[in-house]
Structure 1
Amino acid sequence: MKQTIITLICFVFLFTSCKKDYLDTLPTDQTPTETAFETTASARFAVNGLAKMMTIQYLGSQGFNGEGTIKMYYGNYPGNHFSVNLSGWAAIINATYNENITSIYDYYPWYYYYKIIGNANKIIHYIDAAEGTTADKNFIKAQALTYRAYCYMMLAQLYGNRWSDSNNGATDGVVNKIDISNDDLPKSTLLETYNLIYADLDQAIGLYATSTETRTANYEMDVNVAYSIYARAALNRADYANAETFSQKARASYALMSNTDYKAGFSTPNSEWIWSSYGAADETLYFYSYFSYIGYNSTASAVRTAPKMISRELYNQIPSTDIRKGLFLDPTGYTYTTSTGATTAGSALRAKAFELFPALASNATPYAYMQFKIAATDMPGVGNLNHFRSSEMILNEAEAKYFQNKPADEIQALLVELTATSGRDASYTCTKTGADLLAEIKKYRAIELWGEGFDWFDMKRWGDSINRKNYTSGSNFIESLAVTIAPSANNKWTWKIPARETDFNTVLDQ
């Protein structure tokens, strides 16, 4: 793990300003360990530092912006339902870098998540000796354990096999680093990594229960975030009983958002946001933030010239009575460039886009099926980035019940709760059973979570093929991205451990 430890140079602390706590940073090499963990008050800054690490740039590259990059480059771009006209990004979008161990795209998630893990390990190691109440120390340790569990869950999805290909977790996973030493370590099995995730969450949940502390902002960790991570990790592990249980726990206090909130841009926490990353004008990454790559109203060229679109096939499956259909530009009855989806100057479809969504940058080029779900709160790409919502937990629960062979009416009721009871489509009903019911769960998961970084991860978990079609064949992907990717392709969609790790870790092999 020498290379991983070398990268741990931004153990950040956030100090109070006149506006908020979430602002300035200070590297760990300027802050002695005994000072950082002298009191629980100072240790809280270290926990806030973990949150900050999810929203800063890395590796000297403009595109690597913390968790937003994971959602965009690893969740959205290579998925089945996310269209963008970026032929130069074919290697990423078509997932051909998975086995390129010298690629920075193979290295980035490893570098990023182990950076957070290393800093969380320091908090876990030192917090018990800090001056402060036991309740405070328990809450801080619980938060650090929750961060570590989240990072290992994400690493397991990227660098581990899908569970169905893992021989019940016996295949290689990642390196389970849980202390502050510089010792080299071998790979753990996938099962061992999931066992670590569960153990961290079990301990965190116990510590949250013994503390009187509560979080003060949506970007902070609490027990409901731990429940959410547990639910998603269990679903990935095909541990459907725990996926069901913890999905129910996670969403218990988070009512589904109103239709007004649903149309508000997915950049400000509302009733169903369980955990997010903070974003504001004085915390911006300017043209390199997540919202500068996707927010329909962004002034960034990445949006103005290459807006993000829903696949035509998925769009056509959304009922006309569903409010979610109105968050994409319907080209029915209009002319546009049928090889790319672009509208032309003076065209009726372009005029319609600006009429419906006047927040579009004046020099933007709208495209057929362009998304208007996600918007920036300030220019060029400011916004809070959601990680867990109660909608996902309903869908997790539905999938978990299905694979446990629970009664179909229980699963149907969950889909009705998500879609009809919420008002997203008041006319929605569900009577499907068997394979048709699973297809319904998958369809509404794709619709509900579109653009939020789930697409590729879900397809990998299910072992479903990516099947993108061009405009001639019935969808809206440009030729170089209109490909089929089988579950067995590209190392079974598993990223290999990067050379920058194996070159330095003397006991690690490929």
Structure 2
Amino acid sequence: MKKTLFLTIFSALAFLSSCKKEWLETEPTSSTSTATVFETTANAKLAINGLAKLMTTQYLSSQGFNGEGTIKMYYGNYPGNNFFVNLSGWATIINGTLNENVSSTYDYYPWYYYYMIIGNANAIANNIDAASGPYADKQFIKAQALTYRAYCYMMLAQLYGNRWSDSNNGSTPGLVLRTESTTGDMARSTLLETYNLIYSDLNQAISLYASSGKSRTTNYEVNANVAYAIYARAALNRQDYANAESYAVKARTGYALMSVADYKAGFSNATSEWIWSSYGASDETLYYYSYFSYMAYNSSASAVRSTPKCISKELFDQIPATDIRKSLFLDPTGYSYTTSTGVAGTALKARAFVLYPNIYSTSTVYAYMQFKVAANDQPGVGNLNHFRSSEMYLIEAEAKYFQNKDAASIQNLLIELNKTSKRDESYTNTKTGAALLGEIKKYRAIELWGEGFDWFDMKRWGDSIVRKAYANGGNFITSLAITILPTDNNKWTWKIPLKETDNNHLVTN
């Protein structure tokens, strides 16, 4: 985009707000020039810190657009198969009917948000070599910038590119691949060229991480494990299963599966298996604009008090009674509730407050509401996870399956994820063939519920979204109880927003 905000790169960067205030005491952004930012590696480190901050910042004068949390909620959770929220007024987003509306803010937001980060990552990668400071620091900083760029292009490819199975081996249109701080017209590359750049960035970043000999100091920074994790997810999207398997193993190395106690602690603080997350604290809150103000069951925000987030009844029913993850949702068995909406009756509501007394006092309670995600402080403070080793186990299992590898090795991965971790000590797996793939899909849905994967997984697989109303055995309200076929809505591919095509004359839909 030639004339949009993200191309006012470093001089107006948010990198002068930090992920931890003690990391960063600097002059105001209005007086920070490009030369100052890249004068030293010490300054450039602040720019990298700024990329992290951009992922938890409010955008476009709307409380809904809060950085990466919005991508998880509006683009991953809401339109998926297993996530219910009683918002009939959001049917266009939830039912996936806005992705061809090129003037919609929802079509524009991911493009704006990710290219803003890309523009800033380009500035860092292209200027760091001239900075004064230790060579190892330059290598580490460039590796981090390339990691961010690869992540953003991967996410954009999932939204604005076809699923790989519909791409004719990547020959369909991909993204505008800007790697310089340029604002001129530029055509879209193919989807294959898009993934080639993602791979190239990650290969270079991984090499630079190794040669720098440096390591990160917090989970909020990116490092080689993050690059491996991005590689694994990107390769899975591309159906490059050998690389997906290999990099999933590398990504999870050193990140042991979390304990049961940590699993039940609210998914708002880093655990042993968090590979990468965004920082969130009370002194840097977005208040009612934050992800946790839309998601956390104990939030005081009206978006939670009025419409808590719920698992689909069909997925809940598939979770074994012996699985600790089942306890993270309100089981209405034996209690009354409104079957048109899911609002809990008096006894079920009281039961919810007994089980989770930190539910905000004026909250409406729903059957199947979630207790997986909690806020650390009001109205919605928490650290936001992006990659966990659990996902890497599931990527490895799926990649092995599509390479026709030994079923026992895949079964053992799922046993380690579920039984050995004590998430379900009764878990067994002897499935083969299509049933084994179904088991992988089932446990992706259970393990990663609410973390922004639902819609992305269904698109990647080319599976239909089938939501059922209570009358048909589900728990969706009528306006959201629909079936969405893989061929519907431009094959679930968001069109390039009008703000781009109006200003970049080489791009068309």
Q: TM-score range by the shorter chain?
A: over 0.9
Letter in structure 1 aligned against 2:8? L
Letter in structure 2 aligned against 1:487? P
* Alignment partner, residue 500 of structure 2: 501
1:21 aligned residue (20, 23, 29): 23
* Alignment partner, residue 349 of structure 2: 350
SS of residue in 1 equivalent to 2:14:
coil
Letter in structure 2 aligned against 1:308? K
What is the CA RMSD across the aligned residues, in angstroms?
Answer: 1.4
* Alignment partner, residue 175 of structure 1: 176
Contact 1:17–1:23 (8 Å) recurs in 2: no
Contact 2:229–2:248 (8 Å) recurs in 1: yes
Change (3 A) 1:242 1:424: same
Mapped partners of 1:471, 1:494: distance in 2? 30
For residue 7 of structure 1, report the CA deviation from its aligned partner: 4.5
* Alignment partner, residue 458 of structure 1: 457
Mapped partners of 2:476, 2:277: distance in 1? 30
Letter in structure 1 aligned against 2:159? L
SS of residue in 1 equivalent to 2:472:
coil
Change (3 A) 1:172 1:4: farther
* Alignment partner, residue 481 of structure 1: 480
* Alignment partner, residue 150 of structure 1: 151
Question: What are structure 2's unaligned runs of at least 5 residues?
Answer: none
* Alignment partner, residue 434 of structure 1: 433
Letter in structure 1 aligned against 2:267? F
- The answer to whether the aligner puts 1:74 opposite 2:83 as a matched pair is no
Letter in structure 1 aligned against 2:237? N
* Alignment partner, residue 333 of structure 1: 334
Write out the 4+ residue segments of structure 1 that deviate beyond 2 Å after TM superposition: 3-10, 12-20, 22-27
* Alignment partner, residue 191 of structure 2: 190
For residue 365 of structure 1, report the CA deviation from its aligned partner: 1.0
Mapped partners of 1:23, 1:228: distance in 2? 31
Contact 2:153–2:194 (8 Å) recurs in 1: yes
Letter in structure 2 aligned against 1:456? W
* Alignment partner, residue 306 of structure 2: 305
Pairing of 1:57-206 with structure 2 (within 5 A): 57-206=58-207
Mapped partners of 1:181, 1:88: distance in 2? 39
* Alignment partner, residue 3 of structure 2: 3
Contact 1:4–1:115 (8 Å) recurs in 2: no
After TM superposition, the structure 1 stretch with the greater mean CA deviation from structure 2, 12-21 or 495-504, is 12-21
Residue by residue, what CA displacement relative to the aligned partner does 1:204-250 show, whole Å, maximum 9, x if unpaired?
A: 00000011221111110100000000000000000000000000000
Change (3 A) 1:25 1:66: farther
Letter in structure 2 aligned against 1:50? L
Letter in structure 2 aligned against 1:141? K
Mapped partners of 1:450, 1:142: distance in 2? 31
Contact 1:13–1:26 (8 Å) recurs in 2: no
Residue by residue, what CA displacement relative to the aligned partner does 1:453-503 show, whole Å, maximum 9, x if unpaired?
A: 000000000000000000110110000000000000000000000000000
Residue by residue, what CA displacement relative to the aligned partner does 1:402-459 show, whole Å, maximum 9, x if unpaired?
A: 0000000000000000000000001100000000000000000000000000000000
Mapped partners of 1:84, 1:173: distance in 2? 32
For residue 23 of structure 1, report the CA deviation from its aligned partner: 8.2
Letter in structure 2 aligned against 1:32? S
Mapped partners of 1:202, 1:379: distance in 2? 41
* Alignment partner, residue 403 of structure 2: 404
Residue by residue, what CA displacement relative to the aligned partner does 1:342-375 show, whole Å, maximum 9, x if unpaired?
A: 024xx11011000000000010011000000000
Change (3 A) 1:249 1:304: same
SS of residue in 2 equivalent to 1:274:
strand
Letter in structure 2 aligned against 1:481? L
Contact 1:3–1:505 (8 Å) recurs in 2: no
Contact 2:19–2:280 (8 Å) recurs in 1: no
Mapped partners of 1:46, 1:62: distance in 2? 25
Mapped partners of 2:24, 2:299: distance in 1? 24
* Alignment partner, residue 385 of structure 2: 386
Contact 1:5–1:118 (8 Å) recurs in 2: no
Mapped partners of 2:444, 2:24: distance in 1? 33
Mapped partners of 2:400, 2:270: distance in 1? 28
For residue 133 of structure 1, report the CA deviation from its aligned partner: 1.1
Residue by residue, what CA displacement relative to the aligned partner does 1:30-54 show, whole Å, maximum 9, x if unpaired?
A: 3111100000000000000000000
SS of residue in 1 equivalent to 2:387:
strand
Contact 1:69–1:290 (8 Å) recurs in 2: yes
Mapped partners of 2:332, 2:218: distance in 1? 40
Mapped partners of 1:253, 1:4: distance in 2? 41
Contact 2:6–2:116 (8 Å) recurs in 1: no
Change (3 A) 1:261 1:382: same
Residue by residue, what CA displacement relative to the aligned partner does 1:150-201 show, whole Å, maximum 9, x if unpaired?
A: 0000000000000000000000011000001222100010000000000000
Mapped partners of 2:284, 2:24: distance in 1? 8
TM-score calculated relative to the size of structure 1:
0.98
Letter in structure 2 aligned against 1:411? I
Mapped partners of 2:31, 2:187: distance in 1? 31
Mapped partners of 1:23, 1:246: distance in 2? 37
Mapped partners of 2:52, 2:27: distance in 1? 12
For residue 509 of structure 1, report the CA deviation from its aligned partner: 1.5
Mapped partners of 1:14, 1:262: distance in 2? 34
Residue by residue, what CA displacement relative to the aligned partner does 1:364-400 show, whole Å, maximum 9, x if unpaired?
A: 0110000000000000000000000000000000000
SS of residue in 2 equivalent to 1:3:
coil
Change (3 A) 1:362 1:153: same
Contact 1:7–1:111 (8 Å) recurs in 2: no
Letter in structure 2 aligned against 1:21? W
Residue by residue, what CA displacement relative to the aligned partner does 1:291-342 show, whole Å, maximum 9, x if unpaired?
A: 0001000000000010000000000000000000000000000001111110
* Alignment partner, residue 208 of structure 2: 207
Contact 1:259–1:423 (8 Å) recurs in 2: yes
* Alignment partner, residue 228 of structure 2: 227
